[in-house]
Amino acid sequence: MFNLKFAGVCLILFGVFSASAEAKLYKWVDDNGTTHYGETIPPEYSNKDATHFNDKGRIDKRIDKLTPEEQRAKNVADAKKNADDKIAIETKRKDTALLSTFSNEKEIDLSRDRSLQQVDARINSIHTMLKSARESRVSHVKEQSDPAKQGKGIQKSLLEDIAQDDARITKLEKELAQNEQELATVKARFEADKLRFRELKGVSSSGK
């Protein structure tokens, strides 16, 4: 039985290296104790002992199992590489979109201005509604102090109106802050796009 297994392994090695002199062959053992051969070691077994064979089918080197510290370092390095790869892919995608969308800086400025106009319109609308809500609150507070409206029912109604005014003012102030932040974000985004466009085109900051 042993000879048959050994002969089988030899045939595998001979077949692999006959197919390609440049092929790499590794041997590793899985969690169930089964020995495997292949040109690459699956990631889930990268932290286990393995053997690398040279182009003559002889053991070239043994790959020792990583220590816990080495495995953690490898995991960190792999995670960083994956993150860097994703950033590189996303950057390339954005660069391609930028160059395909705009042919010059003037077009970027026009697109920025259209975006800013939309945000400015919302901000102006919120200012108008905020002014109305504040005037409504002043009016209700003034009514509350009117001696002719000191009745219990009237006072309760006015207090509810003032509470509604306060809630509306708070809501509008929050929306105003969000839109003002969006305005700044849009300006910064288009400025960054313009700088990147110059880099990709090889144009100086004073170039057209």
| Fold adopted by 104-201 | Helix Hairpins (1.10.287)
Mean pLDDT over the full length of the chain: 81
Mean pLDDT, residues 71-77: 85
Residue 73 three-state SS: helix
pLDDT above 90 coverage of the chain, percent: 51
Higher pLDDT, 51 or 112: 112
d(CA 23, CA 44): 22
Categorize the per-residue pLDDT at 70 as very low, low, confident or very high, splitting at 50, 70 and 90: confident
Tokens 């985004």 belong to 189
pTM of the complete model: 0.57
